[in-house]
Chain A
Amino acid sequence: MRVFGRGEGGGSADGIGARTESEYEALRRRCEERLRALEAAEPLQQVHLPSLLRSEGMSRRTFLKWASATTALLFLPASFEKLVARAAAVMNRVPVIWVEYQDCAGNSEAILRADGPTIDELLLDVISLEYHETLMTPSGFQAEAQLEDALQAFRGKYILIVEGSIPTEDGFGFNGPRGESFLENLKRLSRDALAIIAVGSCASYGGIPAAYPNPTKAMGVWDIVKGKPIVNIPACPMNPANLIGVLLHYVLTGTLPELDYLLRPKFAFGYRIHDNCERRAHFDAGEYVEQWGDEGARNNFCLYKMGCKGPMTFNNCSIIRYNDGTNWPIGVGRGCIGCSEPGFWDKYAYERPMAGANIPVPGLWNLGIERSVDLLGVGLLTAAGAGIAIHAFLSAKYGKKSDEGAPGAPPKEKS
Chain B
Amino acid sequence: MNGEASGTIVRVTRMPKSWRIFHWVNFLAVFAAVVTGIYIARPYYQAMIAEPAVRKFVMGWNRAIHLYAAITIDVLCVVSFYLYFLSRFERPVRKLLPTREHGREFFEVLANFFTFNRRKRFDSAELDTFNAAWFTLLHLLLLFQLFTGLQLYVYSLESGLSSVGGWWPWLMHMATDWTYWAFGGRMGVRWVHHFTMYLLLAWIAFHVYYEIWRTVYWREGDIAIAFGGEKIARRLPGTAAE
Residues of A within 8 A of B237 (CB): 408
Is there a chain B Cβ closer than 8 Å to A34's Cβ?
Answer: no
Is there a chain A Cβ closer than 8 Å to B82's Cβ?
Answer: no
Residues of A within 8 A of B117 (CB): 395, 399-402
By the criterion of a CB under 8 Å from any partner CB, how many residues of chain B are at the interface? 65
Q: Which DSSP category, helix, strand, loop or mixed, fits chain B's interface? A: helix
Partner among A285, A377, A392 whose Cβ is within 8 Å of the Cβ of B194? A377
Partner among A282, A342, A378 whose Cβ is within 8 Å of the Cβ of B185? A342
Residues of B within 8 A of A369 (CB): 187, 191
Establish whether residues B158 and A272, one from each chain, have CB atoms under 8 Å apart when the complex forms.
yes
Establish whether residues B56 and A285, one from each chain, have CB atoms under 8 Å apart when the complex forms.
yes
In the assembled complex, how far is the CB of residue A15 from the closest CB belonging to chain B, in whole angstroms? 18
Binds A, one of B13-21, B70-78, B126-134, B196-204: B196-204
Establish whether residues B213 and A5, one from each chain, have CB atoms under 8 Å apart when the complex forms.
no
Known: A400-B217, A402-B217. Contact between A288 and B187, CB under 8 A?
no
A 380-407 to B, binary, CB cutoff 8 A, 1 in contact else 0? 1100110010011011001111110001
Is there a chain B Cβ closer than 8 Å to A145's Cβ?
Answer: no
Nearest CB in chain A to that of B156: its residue = A272
Nearest CB in chain A to that of B63: its residue = A284
Give the residues from 39 to 91 in chain B that come closer than 8 angstroms, CB to CB, to chain A.
Answer: 41-43, 45-47, 49, 53-60, 62
Residues of A within 8 A of B206 (CB): 384, 388
Residues of A within 8 A of B199 (CB): 380
Residues of B within 8 A of A21 (CB): none
Is there a chain B Cβ closer than 8 Å to A305's Cβ?
Answer: yes
Question: How many A residues are at the interface, by size bracket?
Answer: 35 or more
A312 to B155, CA, bound (A): 8
Give the residues from 187 to 242 in chain B that come closer than 8 angstroms, CB to CB, to chain A.
Answer: 187-188, 190-191, 194-195, 197-199, 201-202, 205-206, 209, 213, 216-220, 234-237
Q: Show the binding face of B for A, using Cβ within 8 Å.
A: 7-9, 41-43, 45-47, 49, 53-60, 62, 113, 116-118, 120-121, 155-156, 158-160, 169-170, 173-174, 177-178, 180-181, 184-188, 190-191, 194-195, 197-199, 201-202, 205-206, 209, 213, 216-220, 234-237
